[in-house]
Chains A and B, each alone.
Chain A
Amino acid sequence: MKINVGTISSNRNGFDSIANIAARTKNICFDSIELDLSSCRFFEANMAAPLYAVIARLRDELNNVTIANVPAGISTILQKNKFLNVFNQPELPDTNQTTLPFKIFKLTAGDQFNDYLDTYMKGHGIPTMSEALTKRFRQSLFEIFLNATIHSQSKSGIFVCGQFYPNKHRLDFTVADAGIGILENVQRYIREPKITSCWAIEWAMTEGTTTGNWPGGLGLKLIKDFIEMNGGKIQVVSRLGYYEFSANGRFPQEMNSDFPGTCINIEINTEDTSNYYLKSELKSEDIF
Chain B
Amino acid sequence: MSNQIKIKIADLIGSPLCISTEDSQKVFEKVEQLVKAGKHVTISFENVTMLISLFLNVAIGQLYGSFSEDVIRTQLKVEGLSSDDMELLKHVVNNAKKYYSNKKAYDDAWLEEDSNEE
A residues contacting B by CB (< 8 A) are 110-111, 114, 132, 135-136, 138-139, 142-143, 146-147, 150, 207-208, 210, 212, 214-219, 222, 276-278, 281-288
Contacts and interface: CB of A to CB of B under 8 A. Distances in A.
Contact of A139 (B52, B73, B93): B52
A278 B54 contact: no
Contacts of A150: 21, 54
Contacts of B50: 114, 138-139, 142
Contacts of A215: 57, 61-62, 64-65, 92, 95-96, 98-100
Contact of A110 (B20, B61, B89): B20
Contacts of A147: 54
Contacts of A208: 95, 98-99
Nearest to B98: A208
A67 to B, nearest CB: 34
Nearest to B100: A215
A146 B52 contact: yes
Interface string B80-105: 00111011111111011011100000
B52 A219 contact: yes
* Contact residues of A: prevailing secondary structure: helix
Q: Range of interface residues on chain B? A: 35 or more
B19 A214 contact: no
Given A215-B64, A218-B95, A288-B73, 7 more contacts: A143-B53, A146-B54, A214-B62, A215-B98, A219-B54, A283-B86, A284-B77
Interface centre among A136, A216, A219, A278 (most CB of B within 10 A): A216
Contact of B61 (A136, A139, A214, A284): A214
A282 B86 contact: yes
Contacts of A222: 53, 88, 91
Contact of A281 (B20, B83, B91): B83
Given A218-B95, A222-B53, A135 B17 contact: no
26 contacts: A111-B17, A135-B84, A139-B50, A142-B52, A143-B53, A146-B19, A208-B98, A212-B57, A214-B65, A215-B61, A215-B65, A215-B96, A215-B99, A215-B100, A216-B54, A216-B95, A216-B99, A218-B91, A218-B92, A219-B53, A222-B53, A276-B84, A278-B87, A284-B77, A287-B78, A288-B72
A284 B87 contact: no
A149 B19 CA distance: 11
Interface of B: 15, 17, 19-21, 50-54, 57-58, 61-62, 64-65, 69, 72-73, 76-79, 82-84, 86-93, 95-96, 98-100
A88 to B, nearest CB: 33
Nearest to A218: B53
A215 B64 CA distance: 9
Contacts of A207: 95
A282 B72 CA distance: 17
Given A219-B54, A288-B73, A282 B90 contact: yes
B70 to A, nearest CB: 9
B100 A288 contact: no
Contact of B79 (A139, A276, A284): A284
A282 B62 contact: no
B84 A111 contact: no
Contacts of A281: 83, 86
A143 B84 CA distance: 16
A207 B98 CA distance: 11
B83 A277 contact: yes
A219 B52 CA distance: 8
